[in-house]
Structure 1
Amino acid sequence: MNDVENTVRETLARAAGRAPRLSAAAAEQLERGYRRRRQRSQALLAAVAAAAVAGGGVLGVRIGDEQGPSPSVNPLSVPSAMITKAVDMPKPIGKVWPQALHKLPQKDGEGRKLNAAVLIDDHMVLLIASRGFERNEAIYTYDLAGKKLRKIADLPTSKGSETFPADFRVGDGQIVWWTASKEFRRIWTVPLTGGEVRQVVEEKVGGNTRGFDLAGGKVAFSAMEGGVFTVPLTGGAVTPVEGGAGLHLLTWPWAGSPADPGASAPYTHLVNLETGESSSALVKEGEQLYACGVRSCTGTTKDGKAFTRQRDGSQQKEIPVGYQIPEPPSQSRFHFRNMFDRPGIGLYDVDTGTFADLGIREEVASRGEVPRADRTGRFMSYHIKSGHYLIDLTKIP
């Protein structure tokens, strides 16, 4: 049994002891703690998730982005309060929110799969070309209006690297990412306009990075064991950020705890490393939180109803249960959920109750081709037979 299978088995075992839902904190580790194996873990868990897509499962498990198994194959019990009646048959997303949908190229000229990484602005997206098991090999930009693909650079890999180029960020005219080996963490950059790839820093500290962002001319990141650090984009010394000890970076300037699986949801406690402001998510008696972001949290009430609300407890909204994820909604509004009238996944707007068919069917989900939400919550992207699609959530009124 390999590491990923062990992780899945242990995660489900922990979840069974906390029925009726799988801990989002445990699921979070599948992506953040095992970045190098993300695609493989997606495919492994998505094979289970296909049953939920087909059968209207109500449990949420995070697989890289989001996915969930059905009661028929999950050891968790499902209370009747969690099951709701079918919703109206959703229309295709291209008819519901045409202004938000973009079709992207699926492969580059060398046959490598392209994945959306950063929506740079309203007209430009950063695409990463990969081959095989998340072997990120090149960077491109794609002009959404002009439909033009432009190669920026090939991605170097260092000898002994255990983590391929990951966590791409764009700012100050630069594209930034990191790699890691058993002995070194390396941060890289290249001009957005193209040019030579340059190593910003090489630290003799092995292992993955837990949190990575840009912070006004600097790169900010967290070590797996905790602590937040910065290094100038131009290169120089790595410096601990005051107030960041023991914390993990969520998105600059917010860092928090906990970040590892446990009794509490990830990032229930946050600290603004620029201002010192802190935020602890409200938890009412009998509730359980599953995930928290900078603005909102997701959880269940003492009677098992799923909700999303602001960290201070305001603006609480019930999430219709069906296929759903233990994750703060993107833009504080959008959740994936299954469609009861046909096997597949749709996008649900908590604010308006609007539901759109993404065109994702059971056979697609079983291969791990589930939607990917970017770290900022601005967009989602996914591959299906008809193409590679990006949804700009900021364009949905």
Structure 2
Amino acid sequence: MTNNLEMSLAAELAAAARHAPRPADDLLVRVEEEHRRRRRHGVAGFAAAAAVVLLTAGAPFVIDAARGTPATPPPAVATTKAPVQEADPTYPPIEEVWPGAVHVVPATLPNGRPFRPEVFLDDHTVLVRTERDGNADKMDGLWAYDVAARTARLLVQVTPPPKTVVTASFVLADRDRLYWWTVRKQERKRIVDIWTAPRTGGTQRRLTTFEGVPGYGGIDLEIVGDKAVWTLWGKGGVFEMPLSGDTPRLLPGTSEYTLIGWPWAATPRHDYKQRSDKQVIFGDLLNIETGKRSKAPVEPFASCGISWCVKGGTLVGREGGARELPGMPDISPPALDRFLTLLQRGKDDGLRGQVLYDLATGRGADLGLRPAKKGMPTATLDYRARGLFRYDRDGEQVIVNLSAIR
């Protein structure tokens, strides 16, 4: 088995983990908390699974049906030298490729507190969050951080409700307000509260409350005009509610769908109960506004976004056309329907590092990271992050404003 195939398997398994349902019992609470802190789904289990797959595939043997013992395979009649794998193309550092969109900043605010970037408020200001004890479910502040001056201003003193167990993966911002959500325990139920505060700073206010979140799950939230729209983790269905308040309603025909970027929803989600090689994750696409549906033109195992599908190292357009990628992608949907991160192979067929790749222009940029271990991505691009890509490098944070890349 070549290292390239190992990269493919590991990358596909890691990506599938990010679409998995959240744990449903208390045994996995700490795993969920680590997921929440890292803003990505855990991949440890899939790394182990990948190792099993790779070891099994790398050392095949034949079972003698009569004796139930390993049989010696027949000697090869002829051997052919395996073709030499060429290294993936190299790209300049990300700071050189998109200088106006890339910002390298400290890991802490001027007051010494670690922070997590959430969304760009303008070209030089990022909304960031702070958390007590490094726990993502104990968010205590939202700040405006100036990436040029490296100064921070507190916007909202966040107070999670009692018995909060999960807090929003991402905080949203529209022209006037900020939005996030929490999940709390109430007897044996899980209650979701959606919160808002002024974009310029002020007091948080509860927008709505509802129950029905499975296990330690949550929601993926979007703000669309004067409505909040969301999908339940691990359960599907696209719901909406006016920002002025009302009873949430399930949008017709969406009970099996996951919101992937308004007005688009897709199915199926990754399902642990189904073999991954039988799935095209998010292969069936629905435009909620028009009712138009489309089916991905790829075979399992693959993963799709709005315009593109990824199968191994091949990019396939939903409307047709395919091309090879200069590396092995993390096959979650492209961010902004445009950007992927790719694991790259060096001359020795080993891992060289990662690049951020723009599907629209074909440009790529090296992230400046050490090679990933065991084929797993070092930096993870999440399509739900609304145009912000961040990763850790040499004790600092690299923040990329994807929306500013032309």
TM class by smaller structure: 0.7 to 0.9
Q: For 1:223, which of 222, 228, 232 is the aligned residue?
A: 232
Query: Secondary structure, in 3 states, of the residue corresponding to 1:275?
Result: coil
Distance 1:254 1:82, change over 3 A: farther
Structure 1 pair 190–83 and aligned structure 2 pair: CA distance change class (3 A): farther
Residues 356-376 of structure 1, C-alpha deviation per residue, up to 9 Å, x if partnerless?
Answer: 332222599999962444526
Distance 1:96 1:70 in 2: 36
2: distance between equivalents of 1:82 and 1:211? 45
Which residue is 2:388 aligned to? 379
TM score, norm. by length of structure 1:
0.74
Name the stretch that deviates more: 74-83 or 142-151: 74-83
Deviates more, 1:220-229 or 1:169-178: 220-229
Q: Which residue of 2 aligns with 1:293?
A: 305
List per-residue Cα deviations over 1:274-328 (Å, max 9, x = no partner): 2222222122xxx43421112211114xxxxx211322223x221134x531234
Aligned counterpart for 1:370 among listed residues 364, 379, 388: 379
Question: Which residue is 2:193 aligned to?
Answer: 186
SS of residue matched to 1:370: coil
Residue 329 (structure 2) pairs with residue 324 (structure 1): yes
Contact 2:333–2:383, Cα closer than 8 Å, also in 1? no
Instruction: Measure how far apart 1:171 and its partner are.
Output: 1.5
Question: How far does the alpha carbon of each residue in 1:368-387 deviate from its partner, in whole angstroms, 9 at most, with x for none?
Answer: 96244452663311122252
Alignment of 1:56-67 (within 5 A): 63=41
Report deviation, 1:187: 0.7
Offset of residue 348 of structure 1: 3.8
1:324-344 Cα distance to aligned partner (Å, 9 max, x none) = 312344453542323627854
What is the RMSD computed on CA atoms of the aligned residues?
4.1
The whole-number CA distance in structure 1 between the counterparts of 2:260 and 2:30 is 19
> What secondary structure is seen at the aligned counterpart in 1 of 2:95?
helix
Using the alignment, how far apart are the partners of 1:204 and 1:193 within structure 2? 30
Please give the residue correspondences for 1:65-104 in structure 2 after superposition, counting only pairs within 5 Å. Answer: 73=51, 75-76=53-54, 77=57, 84-87=85-88, 89-104=90-105
Larger radius of gyration: 2
Is residue 2:192 matched to residue 1:214? no
Which residue in the other structure is 1:143 paired with?
Answer: 146
Alpha carbons of 1:256 and 1:327: their partners in 2 closer, same or farther (altered >3 Å)?
closer
Q: Which runs of 5+ in 2 are unaligned?
A: 1-5, 24-28, 60-80
Pairing of 1:245-394 with structure 2 (within 5 A) = 245-261=255-271, 262=274, 263-283=278-298, 287-300=299-312, 306-314=313-321, 316-321=322-327, 323-330=328-335, 331-338=337-344, 340=346, 344-349=353-358, 354-361=363-370, 370-375=379-384, 378-394=387-403
Report the counterpart of residue 22 of structure 2 in structure 1. Answer: 33
User: What letter is aligned with 1:294?
Assistant: I
Amino acid paired to 1:295: S
Q: CA deviation at 1:78?
A: 7.3
Structure 1 pair 70–347 and aligned structure 2 pair: CA distance change class (3 A): farther
| Seq. identity, % | 26
2: distance between equivalents of 1:83 and 1:129?
Answer: 49
Q: Unaligned stretches of 5+ in structure 1?
A: 1-15, 45-61, 301-305
CA distance 1:112–1:374, shift in 2 (3 Å): farther
Q: CA deviation at 1:195?
A: 0.6
Residue 154 (structure 1) aligned with residue 144 (structure 2) = no
- Matched residue pairs, number? 353
Matches of 2:374 and 2:141 in 1, distance apart?
A: 26
Report the counterpart of residue 77 of structure 2 in structure 1. none
Distance in 1, matches of 2:124 and 2:179, equals 20
Deviations 1:233-289 (A, max 9, x none): 232222222332332222222222112324323221122222222222122xxx434
| 1:217 Cα deviation from its structure 2 partner | 1.2
Q: Distance in 1 between matches of 2:377 and 2:309?
A: 26
CA–CA distance in 2 between the matches of 1:344 and 1:212?
Answer: 32
Between the aligned partners of 1:65 and 1:119, the Cα distance in structure 2 is 28
Tell me the CA shift for residue 98 of structure 1: 2.0
Do the aligned partners of residues 290 and 23 (structure 1) sit closer, same or farther apart at CA in structure 2, a change above 3 Å counting? farther
Q: Residue 205 of structure 1 corresponds to which residue in structure 2?
A: 212
Q: Give the superposition deviation at 1:123.
A: 3.3
Counterpart of 1:29 in 2: which secondary structure? Answer: coil
**1:212–1:251 Cα contact (<8 Å) kept:** no
